[in-house]
Structure 1
Amino acid sequence: METTGVDPESAMVPLLGNERKDKGVVIGREGKHRETYSVVAAILPFFFPALGGFLYGYDIGATSGATISIQSVTSSGTTWYDLSSIEIGLQVSGSLYGALIGSVLAYTVSDFLGRRRELIIGALLYLIGALLTAFAPNFPVMVIGRFIYGIGIGLSMHAAPLYIAETGPTQIRGRLISLKEFFIVFGMLSGYITGSVFVDIVGGWRYIYGSSAILSLIMIVGMWWLPASPRWLLLCALQGQGSMHDARESAISCYCNLRGKTADNSSATEEIDIIIDELSYAGQHRQGSFKEVFQGKSLKALKIGAGLVFFQQITGQPSVLYYAATILQSAGFSAASDATRVSILLGLFKLIMTGIAVLAVDRLGRRPLLLGGVSGITLSLFLLASYYTLLKDAALVAVIALLLYVGSYQLSFGPIGWLMISEIFPLRLRGRGMSISVFINFATNALVTFAFSPIETLIGTGALFGVFGLVAILSLIFIFFIVPETKGLSLEEIESKIL
């Protein structure tokens, strides 16, 4: 059995049947080319963009501890600790609404800036927001800092999966983008741990929020050092923004930097020429308009991507986690008396399940994980509905349902939602289609979080989880009939064969 010629530092990638290797590009029996790549060389082009996801997750985890700290009479360290419910809402959700603005900005600036520069700006906003929040002399300045940090989230969560998708080797693209979700969960866990460490220290919330500034600075330096996306460079030239000859040479140079020692100039040139041919054939010469995002191939991609992130949130993900501490306390777990310990416990479990998804996504494919995971989500939601209506003394049922929900979500919607929206859109409209999907993700999250309490009061907890269960069934139908399998296909092959 042949291998792709990956250097000794990298993983051995097995070939199938009649595959052959030609000038550094592997040709499969179905005619699909497979790139040679070094795992070591792929680490940094993934790591620095993925820090944007880590810092998003960190904010989610850190805010729980910071909220406790800032309201404490003894450890707040401020004279304005007595916050109203509206002020607490602004402090907690300020970054979320900033992320909504960031995703709107991404629609207009992403194709002009490119993925790399958008990530640099996102990291800079992370840094400014973290420092402004940490050193805030009063409440309004802290909210402004939270809002600026949130704009960084919106830009980074838009550009990071795009950069990873467009620069990562086809064979491990799914694994890399899913690993970004692992970084989000790891960031969340790190935020919970940091919160538990500083929550009882005077002014601890300043240290909790300020800690993210260090990683923001590392992300700025790392993204400044990384090359631009070769596909974005070629797209700009195809659309008349500069010389195609110069763009081709720059793309070859960037490709060599991204692939490491396995990519000599000959193989890099051939790979870039393949991309140029496929982009030219796919008709990428015109800049995409707002109207075109809702037409043809892009409309089909938008239905797939926006539908996934919509169901990702509308199946109750924020709400189930909201009830986590209550469920564990009802089961008699002593650790549940401490909210930070419960958060750490769930964070560890989410991290483990996300790791399993990362290992499985390029082996099993996107659809099997989505169908299996969302089936688990559906079952868990109906179990929770039964617990709150019929089985109130069976706390173990609720614990099992909670863990089943969290595990199933991290195997399916968690990583694969972000993966699919980063690879499904045509290149010419990818930045804009992605920004609409990211906006829908954050907007739906905000809507579910805001509407949960009023609807719960109106119809009851059990009925609400039952409604979420019915929505999960609809999402299963959507996945079965609408969502395609993209495993093993290059971004250009996805556009030509699926859309």
Structure 2
Amino acid sequence: MASDPHQPTRSSLAQEGTGEIGSARDPLLNNGVHDPESYSISAAILPFLFPALGGLLYGYDIGATSSATVSIESASLSGVSWYNLSSVEIGLFTSGSLYGALIGSVLAFNVADFLGRRRELIVAALLYLVGALVTAFAPNFPVLVLGRLVFGIGIGLAMHSAPMYIAETAPTPIRGQLISLKEFFIVLGIVSGYGIGSLFVDTVAGWRYMFGVSSPVAIIMGIGMWWLPPSPRWLLLRSIQRKGDAQNLRDTAIRSLCQLQGQTIRDSAPQLVDEILAELSYVGDDKEVTFGEMFRGKCLKALWIGAGLVLFQQITGQPSVLYYAASILQSAGFSGASDATRVSIILGFFKLIMTGVAVVVVDRLGRRPLLLGGVSGMVISLFLLGSYYIFLDNAAVVAVVGLLLYVGCYQISFGPIGWLMIAEIFPLRLRGRGLSIAVLVNFGANALVTFAFSPLKELLGAGILFYVFCVIAGAALVFIYFVVPETKGLTLEEIEAKCL
């Protein structure tokens, strides 16, 4: 963001006190225009890549667990004497990482702003490594579950800190693409988990290899985050909140910015840091947020937007639709569809393609058009699926169209944009705690939907259940239209000033 010589300086505006957003004194509007931000694509790759490996490992766990469940229950292939697991034990095994993620989200609420985004990702990588190794070498079932929980805590911390680090370090013009690309890495991890799981599913003790494979990736992630600098905005937040030597933190933020965005920004980095400091003071980020304040004013609005998006992301039926994928494709005449793993890999590649579409267009079209268009498609697809199971059971093409439309529309809307918006919408001083609440809502709703799906399917039947999801998706559409703002092209400080 460049200074306008015809405007007062940022620092003088910051000292004038707060004013109404949109007034002439507002340093964040600049008549709605700011100079293009200088950045180097090559320099921006690694600050995205290493945090995104946290998403890759999360997705890998989802994909690998399905094959690992088959492996560990086999009398001949499990390689253990305690393979005869009860339904409760299987539930603990498959969902252990999800419960760990819930624990990680709670921990993030208290430690995020103290540790910072970079150190939180290093801790997440360490937990990924320990969890993978404990699970792979588990001598008995309790140790196996403990390994799953530890890995899950890593998921909770990584899915909390990775969007923040990417959002706070990415150049504004490509911020949406980079955060959306993290969702691409999650889906890539899911596909990789299915693929590696299928390779080892017929191997004795194959489940150990499936989980152990993730440990080298965790090591690469940890080393990469150790090499990367802290988030400049986190450093500046600590500076204006007087949590360290202000000059030292400012100088460190300048060096971090140069390392993260390349030599093209070297000359303008000091000015940019001073502008961010002034803007943070202007919007009140120099005051540390209290717990009560999180549920008032613009903090409450940010929570309402962020938590609402990730809640609808989970309760609009995504896991449930995929549950029926194999039977839908089989009924349509795809003989290979009886192999659930094969169906999962095929759908996984389709999800990858559609997520790639979202990544390419998100910074050109904007967040709202993708959300509104994608969720509208989800409403139509859920109506088609419900109608198939109630009225059109002989028209398998309707179910296939509904299935593919749903998966495609989800992956260009809620899939990437949900994570993108929660990384952008929270004010800096609230971002650590606010994002931990949003991630907690995400994993909590995921656990609830997973738990409630089978009893609801038995009680209502598939058709009515899809109609229920259709109504929920319709409510999500209304929520997006009236509540969710457009953040395309705005710096994080401008989002705080204009959208909240």
TM-score (norm 2): 0.93
Which residue is 1:249 aligned to? 251
Cα deviation digits, residues 265-285 of structure 1 (max 9, x gap): x31111111111100111112
Counterparts of 1:427-442 in structure 2, within 5 Å, are 427-442=428-443
Cα deviation digits, residues 129-163 of structure 1 (max 9, x gap): 00000000111111100000000000000000000
Which residue is 1:314 aligned to? 315
In 1, Cα distance between equivalents of 2:212 and 2:327: 30
Which residue is 2:24 aligned to? none
* Residues 120, 158 of structure 2: 8 Å contact kept: yes
Cα deviation digits, residues 164-207 of structure 1 (max 9, x gap): 00000000000000000000000000000000100000010000
Partner secondary structure for residue 318 of structure 1: helix
- Sequence identity, in percent? 68
In 2, Cα distance between equivalents of 1:342 and 1:456: 21
In 2, Cα distance between equivalents of 1:301 and 1:369: 20
Cα deviation digits, residues 83-134 of structure 1 (max 9, x gap): 1111111110000000000000000000000000000000100000000000
Q: CA deviation at 1:362?
A: 0.2
Which residue is 1:36 aligned to? 38
Which residue is 2:212 aligned to? 210
Which residue is 1:79 aligned to? 81
Which of 168, 171, 175 is residue 170 of structure 2 equivalent to? 168
* Residues 385, 402 of structure 2: 8 Å contact kept: yes
Counterparts of 1:8-87 in structure 2, within 5 Å, are 30-87=32-89
Which residue is 2:333 aligned to? 332
In 1, Cα distance between equivalents of 2:186 and 2:35: 31
**AA matched with 1:106:** A
Which residue is 1:477 aligned to? 478
Counterparts of 1:127-142 in structure 2, within 5 Å, are 127-142=129-144
Which residue is 1:404 aligned to? 405
Partner secondary structure for residue 202 of structure 1: coil
In 2, Cα distance between equivalents of 1:382 and 1:79: 47
**AA matched with 2:166:** I
**AA matched with 2:334:** F
Which residue is 1:225 aligned to? 227
Q: CA deviation at 1:28?
A: 8.4
1:421 aligns with 2:422: yes
Cα deviation digits, residues 11-70 of structure 1 (max 9, x gap): xxxxxxxxxxxxxxxx98733243100000000000000000000000000001111111
In 2, Cα distance between equivalents of 1:174 and 1:183: 14
* Residues 237, 243 of structure 1: 8 Å contact kept: yes
* Residues 125, 148 of structure 1: 8 Å contact kept: yes
Which residue is 1:452 aligned to? 453
Which residue is 1:10 aligned to? none
Cα deviation digits, residues 437-469 of structure 1 (max 9, x gap): 000000001101100111111111110110000
* Residues 28, 34 of structure 1: 8 Å contact kept: no
Which residue is 2:179 aligned to? 177
When structure 1 is superposed on structure 2, of 488-497 and 255-264 the one drifting more is: 255-264
**AA matched with 2:42:** V
Which of 123, 142, 145 is residue 143 of structure 1 equivalent to? 145
* Residues 102, 152 of structure 1: 8 Å contact kept: yes
TM-score (norm 1): 0.94
Which residue is 1:15 aligned to? none
**AA matched with 1:54:** L
Cα deviation digits, residues 361-398 of structure 1 (max 9, x gap): 00000000000000011111111100110011111111
Aligned residue pairs total: 473
In 2, Cα distance between equivalents of 1:64 and 1:119: 26
List structure 1 runs of 4+ shifted beyond 6 angstroms: none
Please list every run of 5 or more consecutive structure 2 residues that lacks an aligned counterpart in the other structure. 2-28
When structure 1 is superposed on structure 2, of 343-352 and 31-40 the one drifting more is: 31-40
Please list every run of 5 or more consecutive structure 1 residues that lacks an aligned counterpart in the other structure. 5-26
In 1, Cα distance between equivalents of 2:214 and 2:409: 29
Partner secondary structure for residue 286 of structure 1: coil
Q: CA deviation at 1:292?
A: 1.3
In 2, Cα distance between equivalents of 1:435 and 1:246: 28
Which residue is 1:109 aligned to? 111
Partner secondary structure for residue 391 of structure 1: coil
* Residues 37, 263 of structure 1: 8 Å contact kept: yes
Which residue is 2:343 aligned to? 342
When structure 1 is superposed on structure 2, of 112-121 and 450-459 the one drifting more is: 450-459
* Residues 56, 186 of structure 2: 8 Å contact kept: yes
**AA matched with 1:269:** P
Q: CA deviation at 1:332?
A: 2.0
* Residues 168, 231 of structure 2: 8 Å contact kept: yes
In 2, Cα distance between equivalents of 1:340 and 1:319: 16
**AA matched with 1:87:** E
Q: CA deviation at 1:263?
A: 1.8
**AA matched with 1:371:** L
Partner secondary structure for residue 34 of structure 1: coil
Which residue is 1:366 aligned to? 367
In 2, Cα distance between equivalents of 1:31 and 1:371: 26
Cα deviation digits, residues 328-382 of structure 1 (max 9, x gap): 1222212212121111101000000000000010000000000000001111111
**AA matched with 1:259:** Q
Which residue is 1:17 aligned to? none
Partner secondary structure for residue 268 of structure 2: helix
Which residue is 1:394 aligned to? 395
* Residues 327, 338 of structure 2: 8 Å contact kept: no
Which residue is 1:289 aligned to? 290
In 2, Cα distance between equivalents of 1:386 and 1:482: 30
Cα deviation digits, residues 455-488 of structure 1 (max 9, x gap): 1111111101100000000000000000000000
